[in-house]
Amino acid sequence: MERVLKCVRCGKTYDVFSSKTRCDCGGLLEVSLQCTLSPNLKDEFLKRRMSLEPYNESGVWRYREFVLDIEPNSIVTLPEGRTNLYKKVVDGMEVYFKHEGENPTGSFKDRGMTVGVSVAKKLGFKITACASTGNTSASLASYSAHAGLKSVVFVPKGKVALGKLSQALAYGANVLEISGDFDYAMKLVQEASSEYKLYLLNSLNPLRLEGQKTIIINTLEELGWVVPDWIIVPGGNLGNTSAFGKALKELFEFKFIDKVPRLAVIQAEGASPFYRAFKSGFKEFEPMKAETIATAIRIGNPVNYEKAVKSIEFTQGVVESVSDLEILEAKRDIDNLGIGCEPSSASTLAGLRKLRKSGVIKSSDFVVMILTGNLLKDPDTSINLHTGNIKDVKSRSRFFEIETLKDLEDALKKIVLEGE
């Protein structure tokens, strides 16, 4: 047996396929690798890119030694994890954007879901479940449909972006719209899955995080294993934060990399319990009532807190918070680059700007930002932002209503004059 589930609090171990999401003591579980992996695997990972086997084409299963041992015929893959890394100059600084919004359902959640739903199928579950601010539900619904399983998703009423809710419905999920916020939905789904035979697929599920580790592995591979100074990621339920720290620890211990990049986790000011805990040196952790336009990170009581603290400590990371206005300005700029992302993803650039201002990140630093979700997820915010409907954020896109030929002529003249 090469892997076990291990409690991060008391150290008790369980079978990796035990379908437990928490230890009997209440602590979080994580997968513990019981073997070492050789850096020679780097060549094998690259070679698999040439293969036409779906599980080699997948940017998750291509790195399966870091993910999970499971029979290829149990694997439910679309395949995911084949996302682009863009090099851009922003504010005079060269930076990279890893666009996880280019996954099959439009968010990084697919990298975890391929693992989670494969295991649900292997274990004989008929129904999968999650609480979600939107993207997890879209991903769960899609992968469950591919696997022939039913899905149940708990979503907070009125706080799920249009693109995400329409996906979950379209892929055939049973959608439970909860009167309450995400944190309440999260509590309800945990209770429901201990009462009914539902396979819980929030990032509380340690196997999902093993899939999300491949965001780091894939990015480093694309960089030729040259290690950046900083990796910047939004923080909501802190699943990625946890997975990234774990990935970096394993890559470092197995000598795939000889230095560890620092993680910078960015939260929205209105949903910043992790930032506040960081400011207290992680002595205090106080859940809060969350509010932000970045609905994917509108979370006041992140379930992965304990693991995320370890990630910040291991990588000598930092946690920053940014206002909704800063998020929207950053979204405007990422969108205008022709890349685009949803609001929560833009917190990365907003965070970079703030960390540069405070001198934590220097303009000569090598920085990678993880864009977690696709532009198309939240069309309402995009239209408001780019038609100038959001006070205090100046739009650089132009929107003209044309009723007469005179309007048309005026508009064209303006556009042409501005272009000169």
Ligand X SMILES: *Cc1c(COP(=O)(O)O)cnc(C)c1O
Give the interface with ligand X as residue ranges (CB under 6 A): 107, 109, 135, 203, 234-241, 296-297, 342, 344-345, 372-373
- By C-alpha distance, which of 276, 281, 171, 206 is closest to 30? 206
Contact 361, 355 (CB under 8 A): yes
Q: Verify binding: residue 9, Zn ion, rule CB under 5 A.
A: yes
CA 403 to centroid of chain Cα atoms: 43
Give 262 or 307: the residue with its C-beta nearer to Zn ion: 307
Contact 179, 148 (CB under 8 A): no
Contact 56, 272 (CB under 8 A): no
295 binds, among Zn ion, ligand X, none (CB under 5 to 8 A by kind): none
- By C-alpha distance, which of 368, 339, 355, 362 is closest to 266? 355
- The pattern of x and - marking residues 27 through 66 that bind Zn ion according to CB under 5 A reads x---------------------------------------
247 binds, among Zn ion, ligand X, none (CB under 5 to 8 A by kind): none
**Nearest approach, Cβ of 203 to ligand X (angstroms)?**
6
d(CA 405, CA 420): 23
372 binds, among Zn ion, ligand X, none (CB under 5 to 8 A by kind): ligand X
Give 118 or 344: the residue with its C-beta nearer to ligand X: 344
Q: Is 354 helix (H, G, I), strand (E, B) or coil?
A: helix
Q: Verify binding: residue 310, Zn ion, rule CB under 5 A.
A: no
Q: Verify binding: residue 7, Zn ion, rule CB under 5 A.
A: yes
Give 56 or 311: the residue with its C-beta nearer to ligand X: 311
d(CA 195, CA 217): 37
Q: Is 86 helix (H, G, I), strand (E, B) or coil?
A: strand
d(CA 107, CA 168): 13
**Nearest approach, Cβ of 109 to ligand X (angstroms)?**
6
Q: Which residue is nearest to ligand X (CB)?
A: 373
7 binds, among Zn ion, ligand X, none (CB under 5 to 8 A by kind): Zn ion
235 binds, among Zn ion, ligand X, none (CB under 5 to 8 A by kind): ligand X
- By C-alpha distance, which of 251, 239, 252, 248 is closest to 212? 239
Residues near Zn ion, by CB under 5 A: 7, 9-10, 12, 23, 25, 27
